Amino acid sequence: MADTTTVTAPRPSQTAVAAHTVDARKVYGRAETEVRALDGITVDFETGRFTAIMGPSGSGKSTLLHCVAGLDQLSSGHAFIGTDDVSALNDRELTVLRRDRIGFIFQSYNLVPTLTALENVVLPLRLAGRRVDQGWLDTVIGTLGLADRLAHRPSELSGGQQQRVAVARALATRPQIVFADEPTGNLDSHASTEVLQFMRRAVDDMGQTIVMVTHDPRAAGFADRAVFLADGTIVDELLMPTTDSVLERMKRFGE
């Protein structure tokens, strides 16, 4: 597991790597119509940190997340969850990987509409046939402030509440890593702040690892580290980003 990151920014020496890619490439189409969504990306996502992947539309940030999470296949190169090469797993192994070791938060439609909030939270555990760790569940639910909404169905929850339930579900299995794809994309700023604060606490209080794709500088401001993508390659990164520093950095893309 060679560490061949081309980005040489300093990082805390004690951290392990929860997921990483090696020369990840994703190509759509052929010959003249060829689009290189990922053009040789090598990156580490450290355990216990909140990483934001930033970039303009079409930069390949969502594709990178999907490939690391085992939702999409790389054209070449490797993506690892822990020490497991995602690109070498079959559908069943990928499913089990997603179920047991990964948490997901999508932009919208995160919840099964026929199940209550609590049922949605424990759904991955039940799919795995695992026992619910009540203590952990109470911690997660308590942290996210969901205790009084558990018996409600998604249609009875606000957008912010629905995303908080999605965060709770992503945390319920104590996954190795949580992937969030524009988790605040559909929320107003108040609800966004709420959800991002919860994700922040999940990292700080529970030691969770989160990788979040976003184009919102304010969202990136909650992260420990922001990685900037453009045209399928990593062009820069910021440690301890703030809304302003991210905005500043993004302005330079436009130049």
Residue from the set 98, 149, 164, 249 that interacts with other proteins by CB under 8 A: 98
Measured CA to CA, the distance from residue 81 to residue 83 in angstroms comes to 6
Measured CA to CA, the distance from residue 214 to residue 139 in angstroms comes to 27
How many residues are present in the chain?
Answer: 255
Binding to other proteins (CB under 8 A) within 109-148 occurs at 109-115, 119, 123-124, 126-129
Stretch that binds other proteins, among 16-24, 80-88, 106-114, 194-202 (CB under 8 A): 106-114
Q: Of 4 and 158, which CB lies nearer to other proteins in the complex structure?
A: 158
Residue 52 structure tokens: 């934001």
Stretch that binds other proteins, among 18-26, 39-47, 65-73, 204-212 (CB under 8 A): 65-73
Measured CA to CA, the distance from residue 24 to residue 13 in angstroms comes to 24
Site for other proteins contains 169 (CB under 8 A): yes
Binding to other proteins (CB under 8 A) within 205-234 occurs at none
User: What is the 3-state composition of the chain as percent helix, strand, coil, each rounded to the nearest 5?
Assistant: 40, 25, 35
Looking up tokens 């969901």, which residue turns up?
146
Measured CA to CA, the distance from residue 153 to residue 87 in angstroms comes to 36
Residue from the set 3, 32, 34, 91 that interacts with other proteins by CB under 8 A: 91
Q: Which residues bind other proteins (CB under 8 A)?
A: 66, 71-72, 91-92, 95-96, 98-100, 104, 106, 109-115, 119, 123-124, 126-129, 169
